Amino acid sequence: MNLTAVWTAYMATLRERAPITAASIRPPRTAGERESAERATTPWTEELREFYGLHDGQHVPEGEDCGPIGSVLPDSTLLSLDEVLARHTFSLENPHSIDDLGDDWPDVVRAQEAGETAEMFLPSYVPFAEDGAGGTTYVDTRPGTRRGCIRNFSYESADQGAPWFDSLTEYIAAVHRSIETGSAIYDDLTPTFADGVLEWRDPEFSDGSMAHAATLPVIRIPFALIDFRPSQLSDDDDLIDLDHVRRTVIETARRLHPQAVVEDARAVYRQVPRVRGANMNWWVSMDGAELIFTAIVTGEDHDVIVLELPSGGCVFEADE
């Protein structure tokens, strides 16, 4: 599935579950304005160009119009083109200190590839979201096999740590999966819905999350789900055979919908660990529409448990 398809599916769910948050998304700017923003920053990846061809960030009302609108991305505001430029410029004009790294550190950074830690904000970092506390989520456009990966920059730890996701497509798919299933995404942030607004909260401090969860259908599973970041996996890890999983998903869809025409199933993740509880969503093409299934790794051979997800979301409860 490409980024446009993943974003479109996410927006459809958001309009149903959090229409106020969905309505805050601005329409995309003109191609000329997007090209101007790219010229003012750094050469973008094709995926980043595609991303800003789908929206122009999230409108946050001020003054008399101020009211809760939530956030499309976990605990972050999606930036407009103007905000991308402003944040990019500000970050370069207010550099993170590298005085303790030695005189040759800039040469080390120039030899780095995407995904490596520079300890400073680079011109090739393109921010697309900010958390309100000085932190930004950005696309690393440096060359290398991980070009286009999604990372975080803060003024306390700079760009330390591994990339969060390998691509915008992976990132948006993970966000969509989180709100579809009610499961936590990174930093234990869990989606909650109230009065048409999507908010992200730590479940330990979220009464609203528990109240909303009580209204969702419960799906019992034999063991707990686990979170993983595909960007941290490699071909050397013990990976599940996704071709086998795809066939299993299609077979399950045909069994559950014997009268329907099931054409194909697609997942965003390219690598999934063969660890019990790892899971991935699959978009199944059926009678001209797409339904979402999830496949949960059992840890035995390449077997998975395949479940069709309710359109309004659900809560997983583990028997263990």
In this structure, the answer to whether residues 55 and 162 fall within a common structural domain is yes
**What is the rounded distance in angstroms from the CA atom of residue 75 to the CA atom of residue 154?**
14
Q: How many domains does the chain have?
A: 2
Asked if residue 275 belongs to a domain, the reply is yes
Asked if residue 36 belongs to a domain, the reply is yes
The SS3 of residue 213 is helix
Structure tokens, 23: 């309505």
In this structure, the answer to whether residues 152 and 297 fall within a common structural domain is no
Q: What is the pLDDT of residue 41?
A: 96
Task: Name 213's Cβ contacts closer than 8 Å, sequence gap at least 6.
Answer: 182, 315
Instruction: Find the CATH number of the domain harbouring 86.
Output: 3.40.1580
Spell out where 5-103 has E strands.
77-78
In this structure, the answer to whether residues 159 and 233 fall within a common structural domain is no
Q: What is the pLDDT of residue 230?
A: 61
**What is the rounded distance in angstroms from the CA atom of residue 319 to the CA atom of residue 296?**
14
Asked if residue 261 belongs to a domain, the reply is yes
Q: What is the pLDDT of residue 206?
A: 46
DSSP at 158: B
In this structure, the answer to whether residues 117 and 261 fall within a common structural domain is no
Structure tokens, 103: 């005189």
Asked if residue 208 belongs to a domain, the reply is no
**Length of the chain as a residue count:** 320
Q: What is the pLDDT of residue 209?
A: 43
Q: What is the pLDDT of residue 208?
A: 45
In this structure, the answer to whether residues 223 and 165 fall within a common structural domain is no
Decide: 320 and 223 in contact? Cβ < 8 Å: yes
In this structure, the answer to whether residues 12 and 159 fall within a common structural domain is yes
In this structure, the answer to whether residues 225 and 87 fall within a common structural domain is no
In this structure, the answer to whether residues 101 and 163 fall within a common structural domain is yes
Question: Which helix H or strand E contains 302, and what residues bound it?
Answer: none
Burial of 129 (0-12, 13-18, 19+ CB in 10 A): buried
Asked if residue 188 belongs to a domain, the reply is no
In this structure, the answer to whether residues 165 and 226 fall within a common structural domain is no
Decide: 197 and 69 in contact? Cβ < 8 Å: yes
Structure tokens, 296: 């949960």
**What is the rounded distance in angstroms from the CA atom of residue 242 to the CA atom of residue 177?**
18
Q: What is the pLDDT of residue 187?
A: 58
Q: What is the dihedral of CA 200, 126, 58, 135, to 10 degrees?
A: 40
- Taking every pair of Cα atoms in the chain, the longest distance, rounded to a whole number of angstroms, is 69
Decide: 149 and 167 in contact? Cβ < 8 Å: yes
| Per-residue pLDDT in tens (0 to 9) along the chain, 320 residues | 689 999 999 999 999 999 999 999 999 999 999 999 999 999 999 999 999 999 999 987 765 556 678 899 988 889 999 999 999 998 888 887 776 787 888 888 888 999 998 888 999 999 999 987 678 999 999 999 999 999 999 877 788 878 888 999 999 999 998 888 888 886 568 898 888 999 987 655 444 444 445 556 788 899 988 766 565 667 788 999 999 999 999 999 999 999 999 988 887 677 889 999 988 888 888 888 878 889 999 999 999 999 998 866 677 788 86
**What is the rounded distance in angstroms from the CA atom of residue 142 to the CA atom of residue 265?**
32
Pairing of strands 77-78, 149-153: unpaired
In this structure, the answer to whether residues 8 and 110 fall within a common structural domain is yes
In terms of Cα–Cα distance, which of 36, 107, 120, 48 is closest to 79? Answer: 48
In this structure, the answer to whether residues 85 and 141 fall within a common structural domain is yes
Q: What is the pLDDT of residue 262?
A: 92
In this structure, the answer to whether residues 161 and 299 fall within a common structural domain is no
Q: What is the pLDDT of residue 65?
A: 56
**What is the rounded distance in angstroms from the CA atom of residue 139 to the CA atom of residue 165?**
10
Rounded to 5 degrees, φ, ψ at 292 are -105, 125
Query: What domain range is 271 assigned to?
Result: 217-320
Structure tokens, 133: 């506390």
